[in-house]
A and B are shown apart, each in its own frame.
Chain A
């Protein structure tokens, strides 16, 4: 196979007001024609910047150097911006982005956006481009492609827009396709279809492909080779099989142990202590050393060597032999509801109907967000509500919290109907934890104020008792006392989500409602939060309604699961049974679509 992209020692630094950020350091990899490379890493690892650097799409003030940056027979650094723009982006290297909702221009038709580059570059006539666009839309699975050409992006769903994006990049027949988190914003079932499509197209056209993802499972399934990035460096790379089944770098190992797996019995997740290092100065030793459980003194003083572990499997680590993976999985601490536990939260025949009008005088349309939903949450159990976007799960959460009143049906807390309770009474029964800890905490308040707020609103206790309650709840979520007077902006994502949970627990509510509590977080941070939920189950018998779209999370923490589809509950039962032996077609589809890989750690030993 001929090498199409050859990158050696790529460095990217960004000039910030506070100094220089050494965002990507000494990154090297090659891709052959028809080969796919997965780049995996948590946020801030430099994976997207690497892709943007290849396309010269980096923001102003970014400085790129490399000893080698060859695409086919073009030496990229010597091309002027003008020559580069004419010959490389679009024509030879196509790129698909994460956000299908915003990556297409809202004011132009699909057809114009698809055909413009080919026509402007003189590669096709307008008529020929239109015909090709129709063929490609058909190929990527858009029904009635001819009519679609005259539509605008907002008339399509997210999955369809991502298909259009893919078709658009194929208009110029690129030799290399870079897909930057192409399915992160999409539902699981749509994600599987898009990834399959990309895979088929790559084989069909013998394109090289770079698949960037934070999701190891996505990469494991679809790539020939994988590069694991951490703190701006590729710390391990090699064939997907080797890297994911016999990881040589301690970071890759920890990352693999932090992922909840479907299959097998759930256990405690491995978490990585500490936080991602600052990249404001280049590291003198190993970038991972401060968080590594195998670190030695020399790890902090000298750069680690790149060691081969058979073939082209490289790891940047001083260890000659990869540390043995301890295969032993610790059992979960928490247990579900005891027999005969009372119902804490009960929803009966809840229906929520929304009305919308087209225009000022258009006909009224009825949207049934929830259709006759009944469920009960027992003391001490974790009940997962799983469904894709639009299934009504967040509407249900709002109703259970008493934040909105359903069209029909009743919600009761410990036997009292919710409509008879005052706001503060409701709040003492049930508390929410939201998805995005970056926007759900008031940035102008200190942690102590944020956590104390529910007590203050209820006028409960004096200063001393409040301080005690704050400290107790910070201890529950493993937040050190020294953070008491910091602001949310000074915390990491995982710490912020702990604050949100501490705030929810400070009034000792009967139940928590967690709406996608980990889906905005990186894998290693998700592991910390899922472990924390397990701790809380063991220590205080936490009663929790967990809303999620992720089957693996359900498997990890839920006792029971409710599957929602288009506002209805289609399946309900003990989590293990439902996951092992789904009855409903939709549950089966969800499970089949969930990306999975079993690293079979036993083989590595």
Chain B
């Protein structure tokens, strides 16, 4: 088991660095960073000066390994835009995004799992159709649109929740709901199909022949099997919450990583963008790693195989 975890962790790290390399190349090919920093009207002299000052005149490979060497020492460089170390900039804003992502995931789980399970246990009933309706609507509605509707309904018409800022837990209710809703369809449908499949499995019939029915049957023989694929998807969804926070944070004016990403992209602040991509990649692969480990812990066939 330990060996398995170590191996997976190594692979995860490899993935993260590959992503950072790809991001580095794309950022530097897409635009000339010196030009962006200098502004549109800058003369060639100014651009050249900036290029020399930030070391942008060196070959790409040298700059990448320079950056990589820094990263290995915990140094992500200095922001061109805010003129402070990128690392402290990111850490300062991380807790807002973590709060948002986790509460969004909680919303997803609270809606999707019970709804999916109820739909699975009563296939083709009104609750199944209702769940399908919820899934289709949540799939069809874009994030930003739902955010704006929420602001109009719960912020303006019925001013129950604040719609801007990140000072109290009340500020996170609407954004968490908006961000969480986008994952409901995938998670709910997977729960539903997984549970329907498991409930008709031979081993559940065996459990029924031992006299287990209803809740006990679900708890003892169906839940763990049905949740295995759901866990993998939840991990991916949590990773997406970090990425998805760009739009939601902008709409609800939450000062987190998503907004930082937006601002630094607009300001061509390459070191910040580079670190954010690296952090998002790390979060994503870590989530998948945790899901793999959880799956292995819950499913002995993976553990031994």
A interface, CB within 8 angstroms of B: 55, 57, 81-82, 85-86, 88-91, 94-95, 97, 99, 102-109, 116-117, 120-121, 152, 154-155, 165, 168-169, 172, 359-360
Please give me the 5 A-B residue pairs with the lowest Cβ-Cβ distance, nearest first. Answer: A90-B210, A90-B211, A102-B202, A105-B203, A117-B210
What CA separation (Å) do A601 and B291 show in the bound complex? 65
What CA separation (Å) do A359 and B303 show in the bound complex? 10
Asked whether, in the complex, the Cβ of B207 is within 8 Å of the Cβ of A105, the reply is: yes
Contact of A85 among B206, B213, B300, B301 (CB under 8 A): B213
Contact of A154 among B211, B220, B301 (CB under 8 A): B301
Docked complex: B213-241 residues within 8 A CB-CB of A = 213, 216, 220-221, 224-225, 228
**Closest Cβ–Cβ distance, residue B201 to chain A (whole Å):** 7
Contact of A89 among B203, B210, B299 (CB under 8 A): B210
Count chain B CB atoms within 10 A of each CB in A89, A105, A106 and give the residue with the most: A105
B contact residues around A109 at 8 Å (CB): 300
Asked whether, in the complex, the Cβ of A117 is within 8 Å of the Cβ of B211, the reply is: yes
- Cβ of B154 within 8 Å of any chain A Cβ, yes or no, is no
A contact residues around B81 at 8 Å (CB): none
Asked whether, in the complex, the Cβ of B209 is within 8 Å of the Cβ of A90, the reply is: yes
Asked whether, in the complex, the Cβ of B211 is within 8 Å of the Cβ of A91, the reply is: yes
Q: 0/1 per residue, B97-108, Cβ < 8 Å to A?
A: 000000000000
**Closest Cβ–Cβ distance, residue A49 to chain B (whole Å):** 13
**Closest Cβ–Cβ distance, residue A522 to chain B (whole Å):** 22
Known: A97-B205, A155-B304. 15 other contacts (CB 8 A): A57-B205, A81-B213, A85-B211, A88-B211, A89-B208, A95-B209, A99-B202, A103-B202, A103-B203, A105-B207, A105-B225, A106-B203, A107-B228, A120-B216, A154-B301
B contact residues around A85 at 8 Å (CB): 211-213
- Assess A152 versus B301: contact at CB under 8 Å? Given A85-B211, A121-B211: yes
- Cβ of B30 within 8 Å of any chain A Cβ, yes or no, is no
Asked whether, in the complex, the Cβ of B211 is within 8 Å of the Cβ of A106, the reply is: no
A–B Cβ pairs within 8 angstroms, 26 of them: A55-B208, A57-B208, A82-B213, A85-B212, A85-B213, A86-B211, A89-B208, A90-B209, A90-B211, A99-B202, A103-B202, A103-B205, A105-B203, A105-B206, A105-B207, A106-B203, A106-B299, A106-B301, A107-B228, A116-B210, A117-B211, A120-B212, A152-B300, A165-B206, A169-B209, A172-B210
**Closest Cβ–Cβ distance, residue B196 to chain A (whole Å):** 12
Q: 0/1 per residue, B1-32, Cβ < 8 Å to A?
A: 00110010000000000000000000000000
**Closest Cβ–Cβ distance, residue B235 to chain A (whole Å):** 19
What CA separation (Å) do A121 and B212 show in the bound complex? 10
Find the A residue at minimum CB distance from B300.
A152
B contact residues around A106 at 8 Å (CB): 203, 225, 299-301
Asked whether, in the complex, the Cβ of A107 is within 8 Å of the Cβ of B205, the reply is: no
B contact residues around A81 at 8 Å (CB): 213
Asked whether, in the complex, the Cβ of A102 is within 8 Å of the Cβ of B211, the reply is: no
Contact of B7 among A103, A107, A360 (CB under 8 A): A360
Find the B residue at minimum CB distance from A101.
B202
Asked whether, in the complex, the Cβ of A107 is within 8 Å of the Cβ of B211, the reply is: no
Docked complex: B278-305 residues within 8 A CB-CB of A = 298-301, 304-305
**Closest Cβ–Cβ distance, residue B39 to chain A (whole Å):** 52
What CA separation (Å) do A95 and B208 show in the bound complex? 10
Asked whether, in the complex, the Cβ of B209 is within 8 Å of the Cβ of A55, the reply is: yes
**Closest Cβ–Cβ distance, residue A315 to chain B (whole Å):** 32
B contact residues around A103 at 8 Å (CB): 202-203, 205-206
Asked whether, in the complex, the Cβ of B211 is within 8 Å of the Cβ of A105, the reply is: no
Contact of B203 among A55, A91, A102, A360 (CB under 8 A): A102
A contact residues around B301 at 8 Å (CB): 106-107, 152, 154
A contact residues around B224 at 8 Å (CB): 107-108
Find the A residue at minimum CB distance from B201.
A102
Find the A residue at minimum CB distance from B221.
A105
What CA separation (Å) do A592 and B220 show in the bound complex? 42
What CA separation (Å) do A82 and B211 show in the bound complex? 9
What CA separation (Å) do A359 and B208 show in the bound complex? 35
Asked whether, in the complex, the Cβ of A154 is within 8 Å of the Cβ of B300, the reply is: yes
Docked complex: B176-217 residues within 8 A CB-CB of A = 201-213, 216
Count chain B CB atoms within 10 A of each CB in A57, A91, A107, A172 and give the residue with the most: A107
- Assess A107 versus B304: contact at CB under 8 Å? Given A57-B209, A91-B211, A121-B211: no
Find the A residue at minimum CB distance from B213.
A85
Count chain A CB atoms within 10 A of each CB in B228, B299, B304 and give the residue with the most: B304
